[in-house]
Amino acid sequence: MPRNLASPRRLRVLAGVAALAVASTGAAYAANLTAPGGTNRHHGDQTAEVDAQIKYGKAKNVILFIGDGMGDSEITIARNYLAGAAGTLKGIDSLPLTGQYTTYALHKKDDPLSPGDDTGKPDYVTDSAASGTGWATGVKSYNGAISVGLDGTTTHQTLLEWAKTRGLKTGDVTTAEIQDATPAVQYAHVADRGCYTPAGQTVTVDGRSQKKDTTNCPGQTSIEEQLLAARPDVTLGGGRGWFDAVAGNGRSVLQNAEDSGFQVVEDKGTLTGVRSADQRKPLLGLFASGNMQTRYKATPATATGYSKPAATCRTNDTAPDGSAVTWPGTQPTLADMTDKAIKLLDNKKGFFLQVEGASIDKQDHAANACGQIGETQDLDEAVQVGMEFAKKHGDTLVLVTADHAHTSQIINAADISAASPSTIPLAGTYNLLTHDGTTMTVAYGTAQLNGSQQHTGTQLRLAGYGPGAANVVGLSDQTDMFNTIKGALSGSGLDRGHGGGRHRH
């Protein structure tokens, strides 16, 4: 049943928080113990510290950080590499209150992957679309759905749309194409996540002719056209190539954006010069033809990677279109985009902002250890920006979580070496030299070598800071986050009137 934080339940909430909360910032406890390789985590009695983190009342602003594909393994791999086993990630690990949430989707009617009629029953491994639909609308749906119900047509109001009705400014930031599933769940409603452009459109993205149109979304306008209609105050990411598609009025979607007042920027320098963004002149930042460039060069896992010398990650010098560009080139980093979005959205009435580190998932699919670490690092730096703002203002709820878990695992290379290779059920491995100066073997085993590694269905970490953050504690579901955010922004605690979510305790 839904929770609120009325005072009679204060002791119960405190008990749960004390048992389940991750440490506050490492600095708060550094005096207790010094750990080699990183900042110390919590030790001793935390009751007073946790008590101080339970903030009641209304949140003026909400910043929701999503690490796409960032399960516990992906966080741990990045932490070990960047800060050491005893260290902390300065952003992701700094939020004081944590819990776990479930992520499953639902089977739609005539699901070809489901035997018999499992309509409405759990589909245990979600994709980004169904997952994002859950937290964006409070309603579960099928894999591929963007903020629509199981019938593919019933629309559900999103957090971004709801925030606009209350006069809040809104933002949507990603390192992926802005038409991609996670950013799209806040502003679009389509039956299939691939409905980027009007039907029949082929465009050039990253130097290649590509087609993602509304063929599978009959009667629905494309995702990017719906973005123009939704008019978030700030939208930043990649996906510039898709905007060359021609809309029904004979003009490109990009021309229609400019005609309707959008400020369109395509590099960091121009973004830096933007001084305001609102409904009259919303900001649309398109910094890459497709997905934005990753921080580190590709390091694909191989069948014998576990036997190779431990490597360090190198800065990426090749853009997605194959051109020679040293990261970040002219594109802003995720931290840059987060900082700019917050500055443009900050106002007397408040704002809702979603920020996605998108390519943790994409690099995990490619069994690319350094790639996913770099993308986790980018998100961590963006979270630091959000937390700095929240700590200064005291009226901002910050949430950090993921949409689904992924395939990467930390394993013991010695165990592999001692076994016959034919008995090792792994697609590939890669050895990394960590902050501790020792070898970490990362394994990928949910697809064949050189195939796309698959999502996994495990629960995920959800961390919070600020008014209403105590609602993340314990075990919940992604749909509950919808209620937590609405409750915080409305000052009413959990939104009891919404039937889409339920908390488990």
Give the active site residues: 128
| Of 48, 139, 38, residue with least CA distance to 93 | 38
Amino acid identity at 236: L
CB atoms within 10 A of CB 215: 12
Please tell me what DSSP assigns to residue 446. Answer: S
Are 472 and 465 in contact, with CB atoms under 8 Å apart?
Answer: no
Q: At residue 237, what are phi and psi to the nearest 5 degrees?
A: 165, -150
Are 93 and 428 in contact, with CB atoms under 8 Å apart?
Answer: no
- Long-range CB pairs of 261-267, under 8 A, 24+ apart, other chains included: 262/228, 266/240, 267/330, 267/331
Token pair 């080139």 is found at: 329
CA dist., res. 222 & res. 92, Å (int): 34
Burial of 34 (0-12, 13-18, 19+ CB in 10 A): exposed
Please tell me what DSSP assigns to residue 500. Answer: S
- Cis ω on the peptide bond leading into residue 282 (within 30° of 0)? no
CB atoms within 10 A of CB 157: 17
Are 378 and 361 in contact, with CB atoms under 8 Å apart?
Answer: no
In angstroms, how far is the first alpha carbon of the chain from the final one? 7
Strands 460-465 and 97-102, by their bridges, are antiparallel
CA dist., res. 325 & res. 317, Å (int): 5
CA dist., res. 73 & res. 202, Å (int): 38
- Token pair for residue 503? 């908390």
CA dihedral 382, 240, 300, 325 (to 10 degrees): -80
CA dist., res. 327 & res. 382, Å (int): 16
What string of DSSP letters covers 91-143?
TGGG-SEEEEEE--EEPPTT-TTSSS--TTSEESS--HHHHHHHHHHS----T
Burial of 167 (0-12, 13-18, 19+ CB in 10 A): exposed
Are 206 and 241 in contact, with CB atoms under 8 Å apart?
Answer: yes
CB atoms within 10 A of CB 85: 16
